[in-house]
């Protein structure tokens, strides 16, 4: 299904996939997982390298589960780091707000990048020529990588087998206006025009059911467009599920205060839901338990 020069390292949902490109004596990798898995990322990449030298690390976008292992990979292998042009400043200044670290209660190890890559650039990875495509929506500065010969798309969080990453940008209200959902639709339209045989998503296994994935993504997008409150609720559930995956557990009694400390949660709640902290905690737990993402035992919330 995939060229032999390309290796997908897939783990649980906390860490994004890493895609390793073997290039003779050298290698490159796209995305580095979450910081809590950094040592594992280094070990997995080292294993995949099989004696080759990791020369370049590229990122699809700035989220913690895609850049968390950057510092560890550069320390271990001395590779150059190349990030999407739009996140150049927030990485250089390590703007935890813009990087959505502090607002979501997430962590990443600070790293320095060596170069940027922009939409429309061409980059050779694993002996194949890839064109970078702007895929705003989930993240307004995100890039996807497309190889026309093999009809391969590395989609990051813009397209998954079942949906796409939370359209944070719609809920954040950047100074230039929201527009995240509109951007997500334009992104799907642009990607759907490409001849694609295999998608390598940012999370989950590579897949060939491309038409079905687009259908699901459009359905999901339409439901958010029809009711942005649905997106707000979805975003908070994803945020809490992620926090529990990272922490493994959290006392149920502490949840209202925990949620109140996260600025993203506070502002989304104030704008769209207007729940008390306790009510918010109550329905979040109820929905996540129902969805099978969280378990409650002895007053503790546990990731499933």
Residues lying near Zn ion in the complex (CB under 5 A) are found at: 63, 157, 165
When the beta carbons of 22 and 63 are compared against Zn ion, the nearer one is: 63
| Residue 265: DSSP 8-state | H
Please, is 3 exposed, middle or buried when counting C-beta atoms within 10 Å of its C-beta (0-12, 13-18, 19+)?
A: middle
The answer to whether the Cα torsion of 91, 94, 95, 100 is positive or negative is positive
When the beta carbons of 138 and 185 are compared against Zn ion, the nearer one is: 138
- Alpha-carbon distance of 148 to 295, in angstroms, equals 44
**Max CA separation in the chain (angstroms):** 58
Our CA dihedral for 62, 66, 67, 71, rounded to 10 degrees, sits at -170
Tokens coding 21: 């490109």
Strands ordered across the beta sheet of 26-30: 6-9, 18-23, 26-30, 53-58, 80-84, 115-117
Q: Shortest gap between Cβ of 165 and Zn ion (angstroms)?
A: 4
Q: Shortest gap between Cβ of 38 and Zn ion (angstroms)?
A: 17
When the beta carbons of 54 and 87 are compared against Zn ion, the nearer one is: 87
When the beta carbons of 165 and 206 are compared against Zn ion, the nearer one is: 165
Q: Shortest gap between Cβ of 261 and Zn ion (angstroms)?
A: 22
- Alpha-carbon distance of 179 to 167, in angstroms, equals 10
When the beta carbons of 141 and 157 are compared against Zn ion, the nearer one is: 157
Buried b / exposed e across 49-61, counting CB within 10 Å, b at 16+? beebebbbbbbbb
When the beta carbons of 62 and 74 are compared against Zn ion, the nearer one is: 62
Q: Which residue is nearest to Zn ion (CB)?
A: 63
Tokens coding 159: 């397209």
Q: Shortest gap between Cβ of 61 and Zn ion (angstroms)?
A: 6
Q: Shortest gap between Cβ of 138 and Zn ion (angstroms)?
A: 6
Q: Shortest gap between Cβ of 161 and Zn ion (angstroms)?
A: 15
When the beta carbons of 55 and 90 are compared against Zn ion, the nearer one is: 90
Q: Shortest gap between Cβ of 139 and Zn ion (angstroms)?
A: 6
């Amino acid at each position: 299904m995939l060229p032999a020069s390309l290796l997908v390292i897939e783990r649980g949902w906390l860490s994004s996939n890493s895609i390793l490109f073997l290039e003779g004596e050298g290698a490159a990798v796209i995305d580095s997982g979450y910081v809590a898995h950094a040592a594992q990322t280094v070990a997995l990449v080292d294993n995949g390298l099989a004696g080759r030298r990791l020369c370049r690390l590229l990122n699809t976008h700035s989220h913690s589960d895609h850049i968390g292992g950057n510092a560890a990979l550069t320390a271990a292998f001395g590779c150059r780091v190349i990030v999407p042009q739009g996140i150049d400043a927030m990485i250089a200044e390590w703007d935890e707000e813009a990087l959505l670290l502090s607002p979501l209660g997430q962590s990443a190890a600070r790293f320095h990048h060596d170069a940027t890559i922009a939409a429309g650039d061409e980059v050779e990875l694993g002996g194949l020529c890839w064109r970078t495509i702007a895929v705003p929506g989930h993240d307004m500065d995100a890039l996807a990588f497309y190889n026309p010969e093999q009809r391969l798309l590395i989609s990051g969080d813009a397209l998954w087998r079942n949906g796409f990453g939370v359209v944070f940008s719609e809920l954040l209200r950047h100074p230039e206006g929201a527009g995240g959902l509109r951007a997500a639709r334009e992104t799907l339209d642009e990607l759907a025009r490409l001849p694609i045989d295999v998608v390598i998503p940012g999370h989950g296994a590579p897949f060939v059911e491309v038409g079905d994935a687009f259908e699901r993504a459009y359905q999901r997008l339409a439901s958010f467009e029809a009711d942005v409150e649905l997106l707000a609720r979805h975003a908070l559930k994803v945020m809490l599920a992620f926090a529990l995956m990272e922490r493994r557990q959290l006392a149920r009694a502490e949840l209202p205060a925990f949620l109140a400390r996260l600025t993203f949660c506070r502002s989304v709640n104030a704008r769209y839901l207007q729940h008390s902290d306790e009510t918010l905690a109550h329905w979040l737990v109820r929905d996540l338990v129902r969805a099978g993402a969280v378990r409650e035992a002895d007053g503790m919330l546990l990731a499933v």
